[in-house]
C-alpha cells in the first residue's frame, strides 16, 4: 500500500487522457500528473480508429461550414457554443500533432492531405493512411514520455473516486500486477476512459471499453448526459464486429444489397453512402428486415463494394481495410464486396461537462468519449471524435492545471476511508465470496443481449420497459456473482467483475434515458415515436444514480446561430 499523491490524476491513457496530461504538463512544469490506466497506454482503444481527424485547413473550407455540418449531423442536438469552440480549435491540433511527429498522409506539395467523410460537405478529414487512431495514439504516448512530470501507473485499475466534502480528492486504484489496493491523493481527477461499447453484444469496441469512468462519475453524483444516443457504425464485419472505416466510403466505396443495387438511393439520394451514420445504419437494417440482405453464417449483411477503386488506390489509402478483409474473411476487396452490417461503435452520451471538461462535481473533469459536452448531439459525424479528444483534451488539461494550481491538497481522511471501503467491498466481498449461484460471464452475456435486442438501432416502449426491468434484476443478481480466481496477483477475473459492475450501471442509464425520450432524433430511433419533437424534447437527458431506477432530468440544448430545422440532405 503506497502513499501516492499527484496534483492531477488522469484516469485513462487514450488520446483524450494523454492530450490532457500533456497540456497540463506544458502549462506548468511544476505540476505532477499521475496517468493511471488499466492497460499500457498504447493498448487504449484510440488505437483502432481508422478513418481520420476533421479540421478546417484549406481555403475552400471555413469554421461556419464545419460547425453547420456538425450541428446538422447531430440532428440539431449539439450545444452550439461547444461546436463553435470545437471547430475553431481543430486546425491547431492537427498542426500540433504534426509538430510532435504524427505521420499525416501528404499531398504532392507536402501539405497534410484531407479526404471526404460522411456528413462533411467538403474534404476536411486529415488522415494517416487508414490508421489515424494508431498513429495519433502512438504520437501522443511517445510525446508524453518526454515529460518526466507525467508519472504513469500502467495496469492500475481505478475502483472508486475519493471525495472530500463532495469534491474530487483522488482515486482508489488496484495495482493489477501486485493485487494491492492503494489510494492516490490529488487535487483534481480527469476521467478519460473512453466509451462503453461492451455493454452491447455486437460492437466494434475492444474488450476494455466498459464505461469505467462514466460509472465512477455517476456514482460520485455527476449526471450522465444523453446516454440514449448510441452510435451504430454502418460497416462492421459480421461475427467479429471489427470496424471497416468510413474512409472506405469516403474514397468512393459503395453499399449494395443482395440484388446488387445501391440501396441508399432510396433513403438519401443526395448523399448516398456519405450520409450520417445513423441514417445509413437504419437504412441497412430496413433492407435486411425486408429480406434484401445477403445471408451468412453470422446473420444477414450488406456488401461494401471497393472493386471499382482499383488495387493501387486501395493499397495506398485503405491498406488496413484490405488486410482485415483478407485475414478475417478470406476475401480480397479488389475482387469481392466486403460483408458488413451495423454495429455499436460510439456513444455520444457521457459524463456531463462544459467546454473545459468540468463536471458538476468540483475537481472532477471528463474528456473524450467518456464526456458529453455536448458536441456531437444525437449523432456524431465520422472523424469528429479524434478531433474532439484533442481539442477538449487540451482545453480540459489547461483548465485542470489552472484549477490544481489554485487548489490546496485534500486532507487525507477521506482517502483512508475510501480505501477501507474498497478493500472491504473487493477483497472482503467479491474476492472472498464462495462460489455464487450466478456466473460472471452469464450475467454479462445476458446484459449484452438485452441491450442488443431492446436498446439497439430501433427501440419501442415495450422493449425499453422490458430492458429496464431486466437490467434492474441483473443488477440484483450481480450480488451473487463470486470471483473464482482467488489469487490476488493479476486477477483478470476480479477486474472483469469490477468492469461488469460498472457496465450494469451504465447500461441502466442508457436504457432509462432511452425509455424517457419519446421521440426519434439522430441515432435514437423509436418506432412508436417516429418523429423529432423539438417542442418537448429539445433538451439533453440527464441520468442521476439512485438506489433504484436512475432519476432522469433535462437540460436545454444551447442554440446560438443555427435554428433547428429539418435534417435534410
Partner 1 sequence: MAAENQVVFRVRRYQPQGTKGPYYQDFRVPYRSDEVVLDGLNYIKDNLDPSLTFRWSCRMGICGSCGMDVNGKPRLTCGTFIRDVSPGGIVQVDPLTGFNSIKDLVADFDPFMEHFLYVKPWVIREKQRPLSEGEYTQFPEELAAYRQQSLCINCTLCYAACPVFQGDNHFVGPASLALALRYIRDTRDEGADERLDLLSTPHGIWECTFVGECSVVCPKEVDPAGAIQSLKVLATIRHMRKLLMPKFASR
Partner 2 sequence: MVEVREAVWRRRSGWWTQNGHYLLFMLREVGGSLSAVYGIILLGLLITFDMGQASYEDYLAFLQTPAMLAIQAVILAFVLVHAFTWFYLIGKSQAVMSAYRAPEWTRVFGLMIVIFVAASVGVLFVVFGGL
β-bridge pairing 224-225 and 539-544: antiparallel
127 contacts 105 by C-beta, under 8 angstroms: yes
Cell reading at 462? 415495450
CA pair distance 22, 554, nearest whole angstrom = 34
DSSP per residue over 96-112, as a string? HHHHTT----B-TTSSB
Task: Spell out the SS3 assignment of 351-385.
Answer: EECCCCCECCCCCEEECHHHEECCCCCCCCCCCHH
Binding status of residue 106 toward partner 2 by CB under 8 A? no
Q: How far is the CB of 487 from partner 1 (least distance, A)?
A: 5
Binding string, residues 420-459; x marks residues near partner 1 by CB under 8 A: --------------------xx------------------
Binding status of residue 206 toward partner 1 by CB under 8 A? yes
Contact segment (CB under 8 A) with partner 2 among 175-183, 275-283, 329-337, 436-444 equals: 175-183
Binding status of residue 332 toward partner 1 by CB under 8 A? no
Cis peptide before 374 (omega within 30 of 0): yes
**100 or 544: whose CB is closer to partner 1?**
100
Residue 243 touches which member of partner 2, partner 1, none, C-beta under 5-8 Å by kind: partner 1
Binding status of residue 316 toward partner 2 by CB under 8 A? no
CA pair distance 329, 323, nearest whole angstrom = 10
393 contacts 368 by C-beta, under 8 angstroms: yes
Catalytic one among 66, 233, 282, 524?
233
Q: How far is the CB of 391 from partner 1 (least distance, A)?
A: 13
**53 or 185: whose CB is closer to partner 1?**
53
Binding status of residue 328 toward partner 1 by CB under 8 A? yes
Task: Spell out the SS3 assignment of 479-548.
Answer: HHECCCCCCCCCCHHHHHHHHHHHHHHHHHHHHHHHHHCCCCECCEEECCCCCCCHHHHCEEEEEECCCC
Q: How far is the CB of 152 from partner 2 (least distance, A)?
A: 17
Residue 440 touches which member of partner 2, partner 1, none, C-beta under 5-8 Å by kind: partner 1
Q: Which of residues 411-450 bind partner 2 (CB under 8 A)?
A: none
Residue 180 touches which member of partner 1, partner 2, none, C-beta under 5-8 Å by kind: partner 2
Binding status of residue 242 toward partner 1 by CB under 8 A? yes
Catalytic one among 66, 249, 317, 341?
249
| Residues ≥6 apart with Cβ < 8 Å to 94 | 53, 55, 57, 104, 112, 126
Sign of torsion, CA 45 47 49 52? Answer: positive
β-bridge pairing 230-236 and 551-556: unpaired
Q: How far is the CB of 359 from partner 1 (least distance, A)?
A: 27
Binding status of residue 489 toward partner 2 by CB under 8 A? yes
Cell reading at 16? 483524450
Binding status of residue 180 toward partner 2 by CB under 8 A? yes
Binding string, residues 92-131; x marks residues near partner 1 by CB under 8 A: x-xxx-xxxx-xxxxxxxxxx------------------x
Binding status of residue 27 toward partner 1 by CB under 8 A? no
DSSP per residue over 20-83, as a string? HHHHHHHH-TT--EEEEESS-GGGSGGGG--S-EE---STT--HHHHHHHHHHHTTS-S-HHHH
Q: How far is CA 534 from CA 76, 277, 568, in A?
A: 9, 21, 16
Binding status of residue 154 toward partner 2 by CB under 8 A? no
Binding status of residue 178 toward partner 2 by CB under 8 A? yes
Q: Which of residues 2-21 bind partner 2 (CB under 8 A)?
A: 2
Binding status of residue 297 toward partner 1 by CB under 8 A? yes
**452 or 485: whose CB is closer to partner 1?**
485
> Contacting partner 1 (CB under 8 A), which of 43, 322, 524, 526?
43
Contact segment (CB under 8 A) with partner 2 among 173-181, 231-239, 334-342, 510-518 equals: 173-181
214 contacts 196 by C-beta, under 8 angstroms: yes
Size, binding site for partner 2 by CB under 8 A? 7
**100 or 490: whose CB is closer to partner 2?**
490
Burial of 23-52, coded b for 16+ CB within 10 Å and e otherwise, reads bbbebbeebbbbbbbbbebebbbbbbbbbb
Q: Cell match 422490458: residue? A: 466
**45 or 521: whose CB is closer to partner 1?**
45
**Can 233 be counted among the known catalytic residues?**
yes
Q: How far is the CB of 155 from partner 2 (least distance, A)?
A: 12
Q: Cell match 440484483: residue? A: 476
Closest CA to 562 of 4, 35, 74: 74
Residue 2 touches which member of partner 1, partner 2, none, C-beta under 5-8 Å by kind: partner 2
Q: Which residues in this chain contact partner 2 in the complex, by CB under 8 A? A: 2, 177-180, 489-490
Q: Which residues are catalytic?
A: 233, 249
Amino acid at each position: 500500500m503506497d502513499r501516492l499523491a499527484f496534483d492531477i490524476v488522469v484516469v485513462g491513457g487514450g488520446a483524450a487522457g494523454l492530450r490532457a496530461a500533456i497540456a497540463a504538463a506544458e502549462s506548468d512544469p511544476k505540476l505532477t500528473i499521475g496517468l493511471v490506466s488499466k492497460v499500457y497506454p498504447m493498448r487504449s482503444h484510440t488505437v483502432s480508429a481508422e478513418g481520420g481527424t476533421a479540421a478546417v485547413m484549406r481555403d475552400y473550407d471555413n469554421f461556419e461550414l464545419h460547425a453547420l455540418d456538425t450541428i446538422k449531423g447531430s440532428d440539431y442536438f449539439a450545444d452550439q457554443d461547444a461546436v463553435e469552440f470545437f471547430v475553431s480549435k481543430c486546425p491547431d491540433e492537427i498542426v500540433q500533432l504534426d509538430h510532435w511527429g504524427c505521420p499525416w498522409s501528404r499531398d504532392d506539395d507536402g501539405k497534410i492531405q484531407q479526404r471526404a467523410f460522411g456528413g462533411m460537405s467538403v474534404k476536411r478529414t486529415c488522415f494517416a493512411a487508414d490508421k489515424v487512431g494508431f498513429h495519433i495514439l502512438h504520437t501522443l504516448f511517445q510525446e508524453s514520455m518526454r515529460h518526466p512530470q507525467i508519472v504513469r501507473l500502467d495496469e492500475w485499475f481505478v475502483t472508486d473516486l475519493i471525495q472530500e466534502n463532495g469534491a474530487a480528492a483522488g482515486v482508489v486504484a488496484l495495482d493489477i500486477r501486485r493485487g494491492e489496493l492503494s489510494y492516490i491523493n490529488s487535487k483534481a481527477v480527469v476521467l478519460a476512459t473512453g466509451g462503453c461499447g461492451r455493454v452491447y453484444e455486437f460492437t466494434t469496441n475492444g474488450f476494455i471499453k466498459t464505461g469505467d469512468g462514466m460509472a465512477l462519475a455517476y456514482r460520485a453524483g455527476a449526471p450522465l448526459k444523453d446516454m440514449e444516443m448510441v452510435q451504430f457504425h454502418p460497416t462492421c464485419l459480421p461475427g467479429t464486429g471489427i470496424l471497416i472505416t468510413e474512409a472506405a466510403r469516403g474514397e468512393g466505396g459503395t453499399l449494395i444489397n443482395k440484388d446488387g443495387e445501391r440501396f441508399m438511393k432510396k433513403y438519401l439520394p443526395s448523399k448516398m453512402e456519405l450520409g450520417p451514420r445513423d441514417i445509413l445504419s437504419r437504412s441497412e437494417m430496413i433492407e435486411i428486415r425486408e429480406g434484401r440482405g445477403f445471408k451468412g453464417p453470422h446473420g444477414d449483411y450488406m456488401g461494401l463494394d471497393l472493386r471499382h477503386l482499383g488495387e493501387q488506390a486501395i493499397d495506398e489509402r485503405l491498406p488496413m481495410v484490405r488486410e482485415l478483409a483478407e485475414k478475417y474473411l478470406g476475401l480480397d476487396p479488389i475482387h469481392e464486396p466486403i460483408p458488413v452490417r451495423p454495429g455499436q461503435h460510439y456513444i455520444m452520451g457521457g459524463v456531463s461537462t462544459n467546454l473545459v471538461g468540468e463536471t458538476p462535481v468540483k475537481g472532477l473533469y471528463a474528456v473524450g468519449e467518456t464526456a458529453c459536452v455536448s458536441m456531437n448531439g444525437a449523432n456524431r459525424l465520422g472523424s469528429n471524435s479524434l478531433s474532439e479528444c484533442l481539442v477538449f483534451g487540451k482545453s480540459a488539461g489547461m483548465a485542470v492545471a489552472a484549477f490544481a494550481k489554485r487548489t490546496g491538497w485534500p486532507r487525507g481522511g477521506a482517502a483512508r476511508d475510501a480505501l477501507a471501503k474498497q478493500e472491504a467491498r473487493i477483497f472482503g466481498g467479491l474476492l472472498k465470496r464462495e462460489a455464487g449461484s450466478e456466473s460472471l460471464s452469464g450475467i454479462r452475456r445476458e446484459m449484452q443481449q438485452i441491450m442488443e435486442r431492446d436498446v439497439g438501432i430501433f427501440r419501442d416502449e415495450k422493449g425499453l420497459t422490458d430492458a429496464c426491468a431486466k437490467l434492474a434484476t441483473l443488477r440484483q443478481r450481480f450480488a451473487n456473482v463470486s470471483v473464482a480466481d482467488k489469487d490476488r496477483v493479476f486477477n483478470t477475473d476480479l477486474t472483469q467483475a469490477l468492469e461488469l459492475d460498472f457496465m450494469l450501471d451504465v447500461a441502466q442509464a442508457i436504457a432509462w434515458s432511452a425509455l424517457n425520450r419519446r421521440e426519434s432524433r439522430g441515432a435514437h430511433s423509436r418506432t412508436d415515436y417516429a418523429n423529432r419533437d423539438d417542442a418537448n424534447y429539445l433538451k439533453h437527458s440527464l441520468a442521476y444514480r439512485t438506489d433504484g431506477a436512475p432519476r432522469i432530468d433535462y437540460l436545454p440544448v444551447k442554440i446560438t446561430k443555427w435554428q433547428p430545422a429539418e435534417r435534410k440532405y
